[in-house]
Amino acid sequence: QWYLDSGCSKHMTGNKSLFVKYEPKEGGEVTFGDNAKGKIKGVGSIGNLKTSIQNVLFVDGLKHNLLSISQLCDKDCKVTFEKDLCKVIDINNGQVKFIGHRHGNVYIVDIDDLVNIKCLVSMNDDVGYGIED
């Protein structure tokens, strides 16, 4: 499960076992909500046969998987929120790319449910953090 997060700057996880492709990369740190810090230990791809999230940071000590809303918006998508769900929509063609469901006060996406999310493809691996199918 991935939390849609308006406060994180990049897609990130603390679960190294989720990576299907991984490259160790020392450098930088992330500040958590309680002001504790976690070190960035690597970057890679997470996903399944249909879709993968590219350039996801592995952050030591992070307890949840986070999808950055700002990164989604930077990839020509808009994110709309409703009472029980949210939608990520390709602004170029209006197609709904995926839906997150509300659980309590957070919106969660199940990566296994993602389909055809081309608007999130990173065009430059050195710059973008996105999802591709």
pLDDT at res. 115: 47
17: domain CATH number is 2.40.70
**CA dihedral over 40, 30, 59, 90, signed as positive or negative:** negative
Are 122 and 54 a contacting pair, CB within 8 Å?
Answer: yes
Q: How many structural domains does the chain have?
A: 1
11: Cβ–Cβ under 8 A, 6 or more apart, which residues? 53, 55, 56, 57, 66, 67, 68, 71, 129, 130, 131
pLDDT at res. 26: 84
pLDDT at res. 42: 96
132, part of any domain: no
53, part of any domain: yes
Please give the residue range of the domain that contains residue 71. Answer: 2-116
- Give me the tens of pLDDT residue by residue for the chain, a chain 133 residues long: 899 999 888 999 999 998 999 999 988 999 888 888 999 999 998 876 655 677 889 999 899 999 999 988 887 889 999 999 999 888 999 988 788 999 999 999 887 665 444 444 444 444 333 444 4
73, part of any domain: yes
32, part of any domain: yes
121, part of any domain: no
pLDDT at res. 76: 84
44: Cβ–Cβ under 8 A, 6 or more apart, which residues? 19, 20, 21, 22, 23, 55, 56, 58
DSSP label at 64? Answer: S
127, part of any domain: no
75, part of any domain: yes
122, part of any domain: no
108: Cβ–Cβ under 8 A, 6 or more apart, which residues? 1, 2, 3, 4, 100, 101, 102
